[in-house]
Amino acid sequence: MLSQIHSHPVLHECHTCEPRGGCLGLQLLNSPEARQQLCNAKKISCKAEHVFREGEDADCFYVVRSGSIKSYLVTQDGEEQVLGFYLPGDVFGLDTTAAQQRMSSAILLETTSICRFPHAYLTDMAQGSALLSIAAEQMQRDHNLMLMLARKDADGRIASLLDDLACRYWSRGYSASAFLLTMSRQDIGCYLGLAVETVSRTLTRLQECGVLKVNRREVEILDHAGLRKMAGTRVNSVAVEYCQKVVLRPV
Amino acid sequence: MLSQIHSHPVLHECHTCEPRGGCLGLQLLNSPEARQQLCNAKKISCKAEHVFREGEDADCFYVVRSGSIKSYLVTQDGEEQVLGFYLPGDVFGLDTTAAQQRMSSAILLETTSICRFPHAYLTDMAQGSALLSIAAEQMQRDHNLMLMLARKDADGRIASLLDDLACRYWSRGYSASAFLLTMSRQDIGCYLGLAVETVSRTLTRLQECGVLKVNRREVEILDHAGLRKMAGTRVNSVAVEYCQKVVLRPV
DNA sequence: CGATTCGTTGACATGCTTCAAACTTCGTGG
DNA sequence: CCACGAAGTTTGAAGCATGTCAACGAATCG
């Protein structure tokens, strides 16, 4: 039985909180009162608990403080479609219907700490447009996923995912060359539209090519440029910087 | 050589404009002045012209008045990925980067009339949240596409597209049973992640099943329930109503 | 009327899924 | 602490859906 993540609040000061790379959410709050309120809104909880489920009423969005989150839908015939993974610093939970209901479910992939941003603190115009620009960021990620699903083969999809994770970890101050996959092969498959077996086989193949090393959930990227070439990723500003500093100048 | 759609403004009064089903954009403008300004912002233009291209500066979004629009990206290796099709009443052009640049390109599929909504008219809080809810609608469509690309076979994808179009035409007061595909097989393929040949073959197959009749771009849906069953579409509010009134009670 | 674009159909190649089985890791309870 | 079962991962073999290549017919346009 899964309990709601809201059950055991853990209080922290905002200024001690630093998802490396900065808290996107904080940019949305310009009044000191709002920030103060926010300090009471940190929650931490364990693997496999839901932050929210599709259809629930939504009065807030979230920022990942540490850990990781999986966003997903359940199809008509009970299958899962993963929409994305959120890492520290990422905003999630913006996708609500006009009636303020959740359009997707969000579940913890590991022990995770998140921040709650009630919509009530955001009644200010500037914040509305900031929200919109975060929503736009989300859309861009979505577009990338569509592109991947529509045009790439298994190698390209896996390479894309790993390149994306590397890039995002790097932009937050973590290593781009070695990290842990917090999601299962199953999750990866549901995200990329591949069977688990294909995910496993593809990782093995990339390893044989010398592009990376995999052991269960541990990944080490040996050839960033090669990986990116296989991925055929469209560039964005973060990726460009990542590329210049990491891909082209091996660490 | 493609000229910009902004070249030949055609002026109309807002009150004479009625994409059947209503103009979503109008809900965003509550001041009479804004509406007045808007009346000068209608444009009409011909097939294959661009409304905007990826990377251009964005100071407005659009509503389709009549005709249809294709939104797309170009991949690294020059291939096209169609993101969606917009029909009369639809809002498009909301997906801009934080730096207010277009994240995708939009091109006319036929002779089309659109309305321009400059961002300058929307500096008001209530409108910010209205925009966000339209963005959310867009996200929901995106989610459906991802789901389709990741989980459905060719039959399911084509059935989904047709069911979606039928539903959207119906909700705007047009026939849900017979309509024209304004996009080419190529466009459909780029949207659904299928080869042109597969699109063609699948349409033929659906015809042989007696679900529909196709002749070039003319489509007649003979068995709405069957089509929807093949599509395995996730329900949304419009679709539910469409389902009750059209699918379950054959026209 | 020819040239071009678009749509359809066939034959073949291939990459992914499915089915099956073995192995590892982890949690639980004896 | 070990035994056991469940869940996650890997690997192999076979089937199939879709992509690719090629040719042809139909519509459109100048």
A60/B35 Cα distance (integer angstroms): 32
Same domain, yes or no, for B130 and B31? yes
Bridge partners (DSSP) of residue B136 are none
Same domain, yes or no, for B26 and B100? yes
For residue B175, which of B85, B242, B89 has the smallest C-alpha distance? B242
Same domain, yes or no, for A96 and A169? no
Sheet holding A212-215, edge to edge: A178-180, A218-221, A212-215
Higher pLDDT, A106 or B250: A106
pLDDT digits (tens, 9 = 90+) for A85-120: 999 888 899 888 878 889 999 999 998 888 888 877
pLDDT digits (tens, 9 = 90+) for A34-69: 666 665 556 777 777 899 999 999 988 888 888 899
Check: CB of residue B29 under 8 Å from CB of residue B121.
Answer: yes
pLDDT at residue number A234:
61
Whether the CB of B173 is below 8 Å from some CB of chain A: the reply is no
| B156: nearest nucleotide, CA–C1' criterion | D17
How many independent structural domains does chain A possess? 2
CATH number of the domain that residue A13 is part of: 2.60.120.10
Q: Does the structure show a pLDDT above 50 at B4?
A: no
List b or e across A48-66, with b for residues whose CB sees 16 or more CB atoms inside 10 angstroms. ebebbebeeebebbbbbbb
Neighbours of B18 (CB within 10 A): 14
Q: State the average pLDDT for chain B.
A: 80
Burial class of residue A178 in the structure, from the number of CB atoms within 10 Å of its CB (0-12 exposed, 13-18 middle, 19+ buried): middle
pLDDT digits (tens, 9 = 90+) for B96-122: 887 888 999 999 999 888 888 887 776
State how far the alpha carbon of B111 is from the alpha carbons of B45, B69, B108, B184, in Å. Answer: 6, 10, 7, 15
Q: Is the CB of B194 under 7 A from strand D?
A: yes
pLDDT at residue number A105:
93
Which percentage of chain A shows pLDDT scores above 90?
36
Check B149 against A193: CB less than 8 A apart.
yes
Q: Which of residues A122, A144, A166 is at a domain's end? A: A144
Q: Does the structure show a pLDDT above 60 at A9?
A: no
- CA dihedral over A159, A156, A134, B6, signed as positive or negative: positive
3 state SS of B64: strand
Same domain, yes or no, for B21 and B141? yes
CATH number of the domain that residue A180 is part of: 1.10.10.10
Check B151 against A81: CB less than 8 A apart.
yes
Same domain, yes or no, for A21 and A111? yes
B143/A105 Cα distance (integer angstroms): 12
Residue span of the structural domain in which B118 resides? 5-145
Distance of C1' in D20 from CA in B45, Å:
37
Q: How confident is the model at residue B136 (pLDDT cuts 50, 70, 90)?
A: confident
Q: State the average pLDDT for chain A.
A: 80
Q: What's the rounded mean pLDDT across residues B29-52?
A: 68
Same domain, yes or no, for B109 and B10? yes
pLDDT at residue number B247:
65
Q: Does the structure show a pLDDT above 70 at A14?
A: no
Q: Does the structure show a pLDDT above 60 at B179?
A: yes
pLDDT at residue number B63:
87
Q: Which of A83, A103, A141, A142 would you mutate first to test chain B, the one with the most B CBs within 10 A?
A: A142
Least confidently predicted of A108-122, A184-198, A233-247, B184-198: A233-247
pLDDT digits (tens, 9 = 90+) for B189-198: 999 999 999 9
State how far the alpha carbon of A216 is from the alpha carbons of A69, A112, A200, A242, in Å. Answer: 19, 21, 10, 26
Same domain, yes or no, for B130 and B157? no
Same domain, yes or no, for A107 and A69? yes
Neighbours of B24 (CB within 10 A): 16
Same domain, yes or no, for A80 and A53? yes
Q: Does the structure show a pLDDT above 60 at B204?
A: yes
Check: CB of residue B235 under 8 Å from CB of residue B167.
Answer: no
- Give residues lining strand C (CB < 7 Å): A 153-155, 193-195, 197-198, 201, 216; B 184-186, 196-197, 199-201, 203-204, 214, 216-217
pLDDT at residue number A220:
93
Whether the CB of B154 is below 8 Å from some CB of chain A: the reply is no
Q: Which of residues A144, A175, A201 is at a domain's end? A: A144
Residue of chain A whose Cα is closest to the Cα of B128: A128
Same domain, yes or no, for B189 and B112? no
Check B143 against A233: CB less than 8 A apart.
no
pLDDT at residue number A164:
93
Same domain, yes or no, for A110 and A191? no
Q: How confident is the model at residue A6 (pLDDT cuts 50, 70, 90)?
A: very low
A152/A168 Cα distance (integer angstroms): 21
Q: Is the CB of B54 under 7 A from strand D?
A: no
Distance of C1' in D9 from CA in A185, Å:
8
Q: Which of residues A144, A178, A197 is at a domain's end? A: A144
Distance of C1' in D25 from CA in B206, Å:
22
Same domain, yes or no, for A90 and A44? yes
